[in-house]
Amino acid sequence: MGHYCRICRCERPNEQFSGDSYKIHVCKRCKAKPKSERQATEDKDDIFGFLEQSHISEKNVARLEQMAKSDNPQVASLAAIVLDVARVKPYKTRRLKFLAQKHPELLGKLRDTGLILAHHW
Ligand SMILES: [Zn+2]
């Protein structure tokens, strides 16, 4: 039986985990990566997660605002897009239809970045 790593999102053998790496669900290989890289992965997880939620809350928006200023350009651009979505349509219900009608350019960005997939989960 392996153990799940939340950074690389795969099941790895138990020997790939040790001590606290087991507890925090991060395998040895990911633990060896620079912190900034791990942070970017977690940030992206959060961004995608917000779109999966039925509602993007005020608290989420505050977090998105922070991430939009990230040093990581990918995190910053994804956060900026979801921030725009949260501002015009915080609720998931009929979001895509609304965006298609009122903000097609934003919908285009969701498609281009793959963020739209999170919406469908
Ligand atoms: Zn890993």
Instruction: Give 42 Cα–ligand 1 centroid separation in angstroms.
Output: 12
pLDDT number for residue 19? 80
Burial state string for 76-88 with b = 16 or more CB within 10 A and e = fewer than 16? bebbbbbbbbbee
Distance CA 20, CA 92 (A): 37
Stretch (H or E) spanning 5: strand 2-5
Q: Are 72 and 36 in contact (CB under 8 A)?
A: yes
Identify the pLDDT of residue 63.
97
Interval between CA 47 and ligand 1 midpoint (Å): 19
pTM: 0.80
pLDDT reported for residue 121: 58
Measured CA to CA, the distance from residue 36 to residue 42 in angstroms comes to: 10
Write down the domain spans for the chain: 1-33, 34-120
